[in-house]
Structure 1
Amino acid sequence: MYSPPTDPADRQRMTEAFNGAVDELGAILDGPDVWGWYGRTLSARVRCGKFGRCWLRLMTAPADKATGKIWEGNLRAAELFDLGIKKPAMYDAVEQEVHGHAYRAELSQYVPEPVLSPSPVLSPDAVIPPDPWWESLRADLSTVAKAVTNRVAVRQEWVDRSVPRFLNLPAPQVIEWETAHGDLQPANLTSRTPYLLDWEGFGAAPVGYDPAMLWAYSLLAPAFAERVRETFPVLDTEAGRVAQLIVITELMQSASRGDHPELVGPLRRMAEDLA
């Protein structure tokens, strides 16, 4: 769970834009506010005459940056995956621009089950889901991996710059690519089905990238992390080793900005083992 924007003016404009989207979509607010990373999104459960209970998510960006991969990620994912895997279906979307800020509100299927974790970092006492959960996740990621898209989640140029900087290791060359969810962490998976949430960043990534991401965010819960490795044997291949180094680099970069410092020690040790 994240917090509202630190600037009261940002909180007010987001709330006003959200309420405007509720009205425009003919919905009624039906749950508490849920803020996203650094207050960039605002979501809540709503009721809509046509679809019943729904999830409404508002995102914002400066008007001149309201385009590209992140802005249209959920829409493009809906076009590719809504009938093929377990993800919330998208029903409608509206956009507006006010005083230099762009807003996009997306109305989606409401999933009445909790996420695996309220934080991307899995806690040490996390419960390991039963076998069908893992089988479903593996099947859905296999479907995603085969999808054809021109979207890119990871670029070799970023790998070349960032791995030496954050791990002090030579940058690996990615040989094998596939389509990935792009942010497969415990807060983006529901605990019973599982549904895969938040498709902003999906696109081409190194083979094994999604399992490597889930594994890295699970390092404080060793039994869960081991189950990730058992479910996705790609992590024990050379392609999987490369994917893990790239994910570790991403999370170390994120930690340098203040995110999840508790992972830094385990990530460094894993990088040393993989080098």
Structure 2
Amino acid sequence: MFSEPEEPTATRMRGARAIACTALTVRDIAEEPVWGYAGRTLSGAVTGRGWLRLVSERADRAGGRLWEGPRTAQEVLPVTVPRPVLRQIHDWSTDGWSYRAELYEYTPTAVDSRSPVLDAEVELPEPWLTDLSCALETLAAVPTDRVSVREEYIRRAVPEFTGHTVGTIEWSTAHGDFHWANLAGADLVILDWEGWGAAPYGFDAALLHLYALRAPKTAARVRETLAPILDRPEARVAELTVCTQVLQAADRTPFYTALAEPVRQFLDQTRHQLPW
């Protein structure tokens, strides 16, 4: 999803991945390892039909919401929310860094996009869209004390980047990073659960739709499918929040830079759609 980080981060993470493979008694067979932002994570296939995700953090900052997200998702979320099975976790610390290796059941279907933001049209089978709607509906009703998007951020940043103030917020449970690189192909599988928790109602639906704006036909199909969510007035806060996140990061993240203008056009076209 992201490019390989600079040395020595890449070397450190490859060494940690080798340690993780030894600890979990698997062999690394990843032909194209998947890097996370700034080399924070490194993922790829391993023997035994597995997928190994390695996450790292400075030892004094390890733990907390993102660190525990995948584990709590495995323990709490209904099986009807399609996701890879988390088989095993291995933690260790060394040289001022903490590591968590998460061994998952391998998901054989490819993701729809290597980037979070679509830059080309994709085929979305009707059963896939149906499963998508059902998954979001089920997830939204899961009780949690986890927080995916902070209210303080919404009330501060949305007016700054969109010009809109925010009134009442209706909350529901969300994946929180529901973009195209986190959705597997033919049979829907939702990846990367580190940030799940409470968010404005419709947040995942809004994010998926807005991240498809550079592929208009796909965006229209998603918008139509998720209309029961996005047509509700309370989902407008979610749309404004996602727009804010894109515009705020547009000067430092290439795929947000490319999405910024379509997002501005969306805001202009929907400026009258306020929930209060």
TM-score, scaled to structure 2 = 0.93
- Is 1:200 the counterpart of 2:199? The answer is no
- Is 1:17 the counterpart of 2:12? The answer is no
Q: CA contact under 8 A between 2:51 and 2:103: conserved in structure 1?
A: yes
- The alpha-carbon deviation at position 174 of structure 1 amounts to 4.0
For residues 55-88 of structure 1, the C-alpha deviation after alignment (integer angstroms, 9 at most, x for no partner) is: 0010111111111111111111111226332100
Q: CA contact under 8 A between 1:241 and 1:274: conserved in structure 2?
A: no
Aligned equivalent of 1:266, options 248, 251, 262: 262
Q: CA contact under 8 A between 1:82 and 1:89: conserved in structure 2?
A: no
Alpha-carbon separation, structure 1, partners of 2:137 and 2:179: 17
- Is 1:155 the counterpart of 2:154? The answer is no
Q: CA contact under 8 A between 1:154 and 1:205: conserved in structure 2?
A: yes
TM-score, scaled to structure 1 = 0.94
For residues 183-228 of structure 1, the C-alpha deviation after alignment (integer angstroms, 9 at most, x for no partner) is: 1111000111110000111000111110100011000011111111
- The alpha-carbon deviation at position 173 of structure 1 amounts to 2.5
Query: What SS does the aligned partner of 1:20 have?
Result: helix
For residues 1-29 of structure 1, the C-alpha deviation after alignment (integer angstroms, 9 at most, x for no partner) is: 322211x1111111111100100001111
Alpha-carbon separation, structure 1, partners of 2:202 and 2:15: 41
Corresponding residue of 2:237: 242
- Is 1:232 the counterpart of 2:231? The answer is no
Alignment of 1:44-55 (within 5 A): 44-47=44-47, 52-55=48-51
Which residue identity does 2:13 align to in structure 1?
M
Corresponding residue of 2:135: 140
- Is 1:176 the counterpart of 2:176? The answer is no
Alpha-carbon separation, structure 1, partners of 2:258 and 2:244: 15
Q: CA contact under 8 A between 1:176 and 1:206: conserved in structure 2?
A: yes
Aligned equivalent of 1:109, options 85, 105, 108: 105
- Is 1:61 the counterpart of 2:57? The answer is yes
- Is 1:128 the counterpart of 2:131? The answer is no
Alpha-carbon separation, structure 2, partners of 1:272 and 1:135: 30
- Is 1:77 the counterpart of 2:73? The answer is yes
Which residue identity does 1:15 align to in structure 2?
R
Which residue identity does 1:201 align to in structure 2?
G
Structure 1 runs, 4 residues or longer, greater than 6 Å off: none
Q: CA contact under 8 A between 1:5 and 1:38: conserved in structure 2?
A: yes
Corresponding residue of 1:3: 3
Q: CA contact under 8 A between 1:82 and 1:88: conserved in structure 2?
A: no
Aligned residues: 268
Which 10-residue stretch deviates more, 24-33 or 104-113? 24-33
Gaps of 5+ in 1: none
- The alpha-carbon deviation at position 139 of structure 1 amounts to 0.7
Distance verdict in 2 for CA 1:236–1:62, change over 3 Å:
same
Q: CA contact under 8 A between 1:177 and 1:204: conserved in structure 2?
A: yes
Alignment of 1:90-105 (within 5 A): 90-105=86-101
Q: CA contact under 8 A between 1:160 and 1:172: conserved in structure 2?
A: yes
- The alpha-carbon deviation at position 136 of structure 1 amounts to 0.5
Which residue identity does 1:193 align to in structure 2?
D
Could you say what the CA RMSD is over the residues aligned between the two structures, in angstroms? 1.3
Alpha-carbon separation, structure 1, partners of 2:167 and 2:199: 12
Query: What SS does the aligned partner of 2:27 have?
Result: strand
Which residue identity does 2:39 align to in structure 1?
G
For residues 138-191 of structure 1, the C-alpha deviation after alignment (integer angstroms, 9 at most, x for no partner) is: 111111111111101112210111012222x13212431110010111100011
Distance verdict in 2 for CA 1:245–1:262, change over 3 Å:
same
Q: CA contact under 8 A between 1:69 and 1:200: conserved in structure 2?
A: yes
Alpha-carbon separation, structure 1, partners of 2:165 and 2:195: 22
Which residue identity does 1:214 align to in structure 2?
L
